[in-house]
Amino acid sequence: MLTLVQFRHSPYNEKVRWALDLKGVAHERRSLLPGPHIAKVKALTGRTSTPVLVADGVALDGSAAIVAWLEERFPEPRLVPSEESLRDEALAIERRFDEDLTPRIRRPVLDALLSAPSYFAAVFGEGASALARFGYACVVPLAGPLVRKGNGIRDEASIEDGHRAASAALDLVAERGARSGYLVGDALSIADIAAASALAMLVRPEDSPMAAPRPVAARYRALMERYAAHPGADWVRRIYRAHRVRRSDFDGPSDRVAR
C-alpha cells in the first residue's frame, strides 16, 4: 500500500490528498507535526518538505511530482488535460501557485497562526491527542523564529507581499472561473486543485479537510474575514462543494475511513 507522509492543513499536502481521494487510490496516511517532522522526513528523502509518498520502499516528495506520478499510474479521472494547449495552461497555473503564489500567501497565514501557539497546535495537530497538542503548543514559541525564517517572514513588508499574492490569486480564480466554473477548459483539472488548495488557507471551506478548527483564534479569524466576501473565495467554496470527495482528513488506511 502507498503511504502519504503529510502535514495537516498544508496546501501542498491537501493537493496530493485531493488527487488520491478523487482517484480512489488505496493508501495510508501518517500525519507529522511541523518541526518534529524533520528527522523522519530527512530519513526518507534527504530533505525536510512534505508531502512524501512512499511506494514500494521508494519515497517521492513534492506535490507536483507526486501528482504527475499518480496521473501516470492511476489515470482516471484525469487531472491533467489530454489536449496539449489545455495541458500546458493547467500545468502553468499549477506552477504559478506552487512556486510563487502559495509560498507568499502562506506568510500572513503563518504569521497569524504563530500569534496564537495553542491554535497553531490545534491546526497542525488536529487528530492528535489533547496532551500531544498541549506539548506542541509549548514549543511553538521556541520554533517560531525558525518557522518565520524558513518561510520568508522577515518583516511587515513580507507579510504585505503575502496579502498582495492572496489578492492576485483570488482575482485570478474569480476571473478565469467565471467562464466555465473552472480555470482551464470545462472540467476540473490540477489547476483548480492547486489553486483551491492554496486559497483554502484563507477561505477554510466548511465540511472539508481544510475547515478551520473551532474556535478560531482572533487574528486568524480576522485574516479569514478579510477575504471572505471576495468572488474568488466563492469560487473556492464552490469547487470544494462540487469536487472534494472526502469531508475530513484522517490517519491510517484510506479504505477504513468513511468519506
The per-residue pLDDT for 259 is: 73
Percent of the chain, pLDDT > 90?
95
Degrees, nearest 5: CA angle 103-133-201: 25
Residue 257 has pLDDT above 90, yes or no: no
- Residue 24 phi, psi dihedral angles, 5° rounding: 65, 35
Residues composing the chain: 259
The third-level CATH classification (topology) of the domain covering 2-78+248-256 is Glutaredoxin (3.40.30)
| Pairing state between β 2-6 and 52-55 | antiparallel
Q: Which of 75, 73, 62, 86 is nearest to 192 (CA)?
A: 86
The per-residue pLDDT for 109 is: 98
Three cell numbers at 37? 517532522
Confidence of residue 255 (pLDDT cuts 50, 70, 90): confident
Q: Is the peptide bond before 253 cis (omega within 30 degrees of 0)?
A: no
Residue 258 has pLDDT above 90, yes or no: no
Could you report the per-residue pLDDT of 87-135, keeping only the tens digit for each?
A: 999 999 999 999 999 999 999 999 999 999 999 999 999 999 999 999 9
The per-residue pLDDT for 224 is: 98
Residue 138 to residue 118: CA distance in whole angstroms: 8
The per-residue pLDDT for 256 is: 73
Query: What is the residue extent of each domain of the chain?
Result: 2-78+248-256, 84-243
What rounded mean pLDDT belongs to the chain? 96
The per-residue pLDDT for 193 is: 98
Residue 110 to residue 231: CA distance in whole angstroms: 23
Collect all residues with Cβ–Cβ distance below 8 Å to 166 and sequence separation of at least 6: 104, 105, 108, 199, 202, 227
Could you report the per-residue pLDDT of 16-74, keeping only the tens digit for each?
A: 999 999 999 999 999 999 988 899 999 999 999 999 999 988 999 999 999 999 999 99
Residue 180 has pLDDT above 90, yes or no: yes
Q: What is the CATH number of domain 84-243?
A: 1.20.1050.10
